[in-house]
Homo-oligomer: A and B are copies of this chain.
Amino acid sequence: MSFCATQDTASDVGKTTSMTSLDHYRNQYRAALLDDCIPFWEKHCPDRDYGGYFTCLDRDGTVYDTEKFMWMQWRIVWMFSELCSKLGTRTEWLDIARLGYDFLTTHGKDDKGRYYFALSREGRPTMAPYSVYSDCFAVMGAAAYYRVSGDEAARREALRAYNSYLSREHRPKGEWTKELEGRPPMRKLGFYMMKANLLAVLEECLSDPTFRAEALATVRYVLGTFWNPDMKVMFEFVRADGSFDLESMQGRHLTPGHALEAMWFIMNSAYRAGETQLVERAADVVRATLDFGWDPEYGGIYYFMDALGKPHVELQWNMKLWWVHNEALVATAMAHQLTGREEFA
């Protein structure tokens, strides 16, 4: 990871990134996942009484809240399904995936087919379907579960949830939207970043190449709309006419972790479609985002930033979150693999 070092040190680090050290990291991550992380979740997360999962787990596995938050629930369906896809099906993993899939498809949707934000342990809706990302994680979970189960209903659910997601493009929060007409409508990076990812997931899990053209169009839209080539930053919001708003806190708001996440989604889609130039452009954005988002004093990547360095409205703006650094690891590893550029080694 040369971006956190000075130029000279970066070269030294580059030289030590041999296949041996890659093997070392591969073994380290594999062991952490399969010998530590996954066994913990296999043991403590399934709710065998009601279905679904416990996700608020203390270090010793104690459940400290039983509410079932949709993002996490569907992510667990996705995770155990993907483990089967990538490492070979194990009955216990498939059973855990089904435990969530059945619970969520039975209890999770309102009468418009939108996934709630959360359910009670028993499956009663506790939080309104105000987040379009609930639908989004349902697409990924159902598609991944279809791939390993072959359950046609899961395939249909993935496509249905994707259409529900798309239908909410211009008002993702529905009737819980707080923004009124005095605040000009904005387009949000998160929506299109996830759209690109969902299309890649549907193509892969449903073995359906018809999603590829739309995925590439979305990739081009993200790079062409949210990336500001003069300032070299990826904006989180642009105006409906595609212009950047440097006058407001919302317009200047940046989330480096999102930019990094979006770029590995994009490199993934672009590489599969043989679009080398798009891969290189996304790798340039990864590089620029690390340059802009890196804290030169203490290291680490900021959570939120202001494009002009003005004070940020969110208290947690300067926190260094684990997920952001995971996205950076994935994005730089992928950029290195696909472009061969030493700066990502």
Contacting residues, chain B, for A66 (C-beta < 8 A):
247-248
Contacting residues, chain B, for A181 (C-beta < 8 A):
124-125
Contacting residues, chain B, for A178 (C-beta < 8 A):
117, 127-128, 130, 176
Q: A56-B249, A248-B67 are in contact. Are A128 and B180 (CB under 8 A)?
A: yes
Contacting residues, chain B, for A247 (C-beta < 8 A):
65-66
Rounded to whole Å, the gap between the CB of A345 and the closest CB of chain B is 31
Rounded to whole Å, the gap between the CB of A185 and the closest CB of chain B is 11
Oligomeric state, in copies: 2
Contacting residues, chain B, for A153 (C-beta < 8 A):
none
- From A30-38, A308-316, A335-343, the one touching the partner chain is A308-316
Q: In the complex, A56→B122 CA distance in Å?
A: 45
A130 to B, closest residue via Cβ:
B178
Q: Which of A76-135 contact B (CB under 8 A)?
A: 116-120, 122, 124-128, 130
What mask results when residues 25 to 68 of chain A are scored 1 for a CB within 8 Å of chain B, else 0? Answer: 00000000000000000000000000000001010000011110
- Judge if A175 is at the interface, Cβ distance under 8 Å: yes
- Judge if A319 is at the interface, Cβ distance under 8 Å: yes
- Judge if A321 is at the interface, Cβ distance under 8 Å: yes
A319 to B, closest residue via Cβ:
B315
Q: Which of A210-252 contact B (CB under 8 A)?
A: 247-249
Q: A248-B67, A249-B65 are in contact. Are A311 and B58 (CB under 8 A)?
A: yes
The contact of A126 among B116, B120, B126, B179, by CB within 8 Å, is: B179
Contacting residues, chain B, for A125 (C-beta < 8 A):
180-182
Report A's interface with B, CB cutoff 8 A.
Answer: 56, 58, 64-67, 116-120, 122, 124-128, 130, 175-183, 247-249, 308, 310-311, 315-316, 319, 321
- New contact pairs (17) apart from A65-B310, A125-B182, CB-CB < 8 Å: A56-B311, A58-B311, A64-B310, A65-B249, A66-B248, A118-B183, A119-B182, A120-B183, A126-B182, A127-B179, A127-B180, A128-B177, A128-B180, A175-B175, A315-B316, A315-B319, A316-B316
| 10 A-B pairs with the lowest CB-CB distances in the bound complex, closest first | A124-B182, A126-B183, A126-B182, A120-B182, A64-B310, A125-B180, A128-B178, A65-B249, A315-B316, A316-B316
